[in-house]
Amino acid sequence: MNDDKEPQGNPWMKSLLIWVGILLALVAFVSMFDSSSRRADASAIPYSEFLNHVEEGTVKDVEITGDVVTGKLNNDQSFRTIAPSDPQLVQRLAEKGVNFRAKAEEQASFWMILLYQSLPFLLILGIAFFVMRQMQKNAGSGAMGFGKSRAKMLTEKHGRVTFDDVAGIDEAREELQEIVDFLKDPTKFARLGGKIPKGALLVGSPGTGKTLLARAIAGEANVPFFTISGSDFVEMFVGVGASRVRDMFEQAKKNAPCIVFIDEIDAVGRHRGAGLGNGNDEREQTLNQLLVEMDGFEANEGIIIVAATNRPDVLDPALLRPGRFDRQVVVPRPDIEGRQKILEVHMKKTPLAPDVDSRTIARGTPGFSGADLANLVNEAALLAARKGKRLVAMKEFEEAKDKVMMGAERKSMVMTEDEKKATAYHEAGHALVSLHVPGCDPLHKVTIIPRGRALGVTWNLPERDRYSMSMNQMKARLALCFGGRIAEQLIYGKDALNTGASNDIQQATDMARSMVMEYGMSERLGWLRYRDNQDEVFLGHSVARSQTVSEETARLIDQEVRRFVEEGEATARQVLTENLDELHRLAEALLEYETLTGEEAKHAIKGERIGRDETGGHRHVQIGVGGSSIPKSKRPGGGWGDPAPQGA
């Protein structure tokens, strides 16, 4: 350990000693000119006083050098004065019997004069050179190092990542295994005419493990691994990005075979011609240089480019063609099997209680990415540590899952009895609709405890992995959206409605509009897409040609959206009107227990007694749930919360 620390301390100590030396030289230089003047000032007297001493006969010895008169008084006190042009000075000294002598004025040599005059400038230039050299030690950070690459070479002797640490994305790992085999034994493929791939593009949502995959490639192949972000290329100075690309490939050539990993390549690889300045901006120059280095006249053998992005739709087509990125590897959100493997990887360093089942946790976390699952395990460990436990139990994982998906409990929030009762009926309406309308996902949990921005949450989860939704399922979700508002309307009347259903209305409107404009579920509008792809807009230019609609078509779209919304509202109203007694029983159970699982809600609407464990916690009920690759904002599961009104 001591050997590792010494190289880190030596450069710092060396810089400190150099700065101390510069300060000492500066002090010596100033004191050299200042000391003689101080000595001269200490013995200097006015010329008039000197003449008075001569008249009084107290001058013992005098030496005249030009206009400077020095000497001693009778008491051996030295003096110095400047004599003006006084032709009678010699006569006065002779009359008073003063011993005097004349001395020729010494002329300084040319080299001494040059040294004295140039020494300050040499000192300033030396300090400036030292500062610039120190700044250039970190490539790209100095005043003269803008064109240096900021790529860092990773040599992980400890904490090395391999494919064993990458779980849940087996297909992507297999795609990249061939690159590792190429780097380990290139002759195996060369004798059959195969060439090493130029690059691999990792595409996936944030948190799916793209960067971890790139590190695993380097760890498996045991070759130099350069890492850089796409934003590190572009600066405010023209030509800097292109220079850094050239410097990066020069470094890579010296260490070939090697891997260069460019994270968030969409920062520099966007479509050309969509920027400002007639397309000749700094970003496009950097992209052009990158295209040339990857596949130009000069071959860069042994350099594999691995890039990652979650925005492949904005990348330039020239960057994606074979010869540059020969393969595009999709890194998806893991399914239930993948989530279980990822959880087991992250649970290795966590002491677990015997009741922890990774399979059950994986089934209850649909749509979670690898980063989400890592956060879930960490939150569970923090909750157990907060309670003073030595092992992380299943209860902590359930609480952590609720916290991650629904938000933290707002225990300090004070609600009146009327607000609490209104929230109970609202959430009971959502839950009752999900239990009676075919196509709704199974009810997982319903609570009236405020979480995050919501006063209450109804949580539905799918039974299995789901990658698409049918029209019946989307209509069922529309009815589920309006269950809370209609329940309040049936209990309190139309005039007592509040702002709590704003999020439900927004979700229902967005879903109905997507059904009409994107999914072709309207018979009157047909199988046409009417919505612009706003995700592909860059600097005011849409990558895909936008679809414009006439006023008549826009009016028809609004009519169809309203029709879907009204159908969902009617379905929810019918269910709640026919089962009003069940609504009352479920709301009363929520007011008593505050949180109910799906099975407990079914017991409550039948009027049966709800069982609880001895500690007063919720009875653990295993519910068969699966996963989804659909993002959280659009996936079929999820909670139905009531955002708190402003000021709450």
Domain end point (choices 376, 405, 434): 405
* Residue-number span of the structural domain to which 370 is assigned: 342-405
Q: Would residue 552 count as lying in a domain? A: yes
Q: Would residue 495 count as lying in a domain? A: yes
Residues 351 and 322 in one domain: no
Q: Would residue 491 count as lying in a domain? A: yes
Contact call for residues 454 and 448 (beta carbons, < 8 A): no
Residues 379 and 450 in one domain: no
Contact call for residues 326 and 200 (beta carbons, < 8 A): yes
Which residues, including other chains, have CB under 8 Å from residue 641's CB and lie 6 or more apart?
406, 451, 452, 453, 454, 455, 456, 457, 458, 503
Q: How open is the CA angle 181-326-216, to the nearest 5 degrees?
A: 40
Residues 316 and 434 in one domain: no
Q: Would residue 509 count as lying in a domain? A: yes
* Residues flagged as binding site: 204-211, 426, 430, 504
Residues 521 and 393 in one domain: no
Residues 448 and 395 in one domain: no
- Rounded to an integer, what distance in angstroms lies between the CA atom of residue 360 and that of residue 194? 45
Q: How far is CA 397 from CA 175, 404, 638, in A?
A: 33, 10, 18
Kindly write down the DSSP assignment for every residue of 467-516, as one continuous string. Answer: S---HHHHHHHHHHHTHHHHHHHHHH-GGG--GGGHHHHHHHHHHHHHHH
Mind listing the pLDDT tens digit for each residue in 489-543? 999 988 888 888 888 999 999 999 999 999 999 999 889 888 765 444 444 333 4
Question: Encoding tokens for residue 273?
Answer: 């011609």
Q: How far is CA 390 from CA 353, 490, 616, in A?
A: 9, 50, 22
Q: Would residue 349 count as lying in a domain? A: yes
Q: Would residue 523 count as lying in a domain? A: yes
Low-confidence ranges of the chain (pLDDT < 50): 1-9, 138-147, 158, 275-280, 534-546, 614-648
* Domains contained in the chain, number: 3
Which residues, including other chains, have CB under 8 Å from residue 439's CB and lie 6 or more apart?
470, 472, 473, 475, 476, 477
Q: Would residue 138 count as lying in a domain? A: no
- Rounded to an integer, what distance in angstroms lies between the CA atom of residue 539 and that of residue 554? 26
Domain end point (choices 330, 357, 384): 330
- Domain containing residue 207: CATH number: 3.40.50.300
344 catalytically annotated: no
Q: How open is the CA angle 604-606-612, to the nearest 5 degrees?
A: 35
* Residues flagged as binding site for ATP: 204-211
Rg for the chain, CA atoms, rounded:
41
Residues 367 and 302 in one domain: no
Residues 425 and 323 in one domain: no
Catalytic residue among 220, 293, 427, 582: 427
* Residues flagged as binding site for Zn(2+): 426, 430, 504
Residues 287 and 353 in one domain: no
Which residues, including other chains, have CB under 8 Å from residue 290's CB and lie 6 or more apart?
233, 245, 268, 269, 319
Segment (H or E) for 638: strand 638-643
Residues 185 and 236 in one domain: yes
Strand partners of residue 542: 537
Residues 433 and 495 in one domain: yes
To the question of pTM greater than 0.75 for the whole model, the response is no
Q: What is the mean pLDDT of the chain?
A: 76
Which residues, including other chains, have CB under 8 Å from residue 635's CB and lie 6 or more apart?
366, 367, 466, 628
Residues 581 and 533 in one domain: yes
- Residue in this structure with the two tokens 């992980």, named with its chain if needed: 156
Mind listing the pLDDT tens digit for each residue in 258-267? 888 888 888 8
Q: Would residue 514 count as lying in a domain? A: yes
- Number of Cβ within 10 Å of residue 126's Cβ equals 12
- Domain containing residue 361: CATH number: 1.10.8.60
- Rounded to an integer, what distance in angstroms lies between the CA atom of residue 3 and that of residue 7? 7
Residues 324 and 347 in one domain: no
Q: Is the peptide bond before 257 cis (omega within 30 degrees of 0)?
A: yes
Domain end point (choices 330, 356, 380): 330
Residue 587: predicted pLDDT: 92
- Domain containing residue 515: CATH number: 1.20.58.760
Exposure string of 225-257, with b = 16+ CB inside 10 Å and e = fewer, is: bbbbbbebbbbeeeebbbbbbbbbbebbeebeb
Contact call for residues 73 and 58 (beta carbons, < 8 A): yes
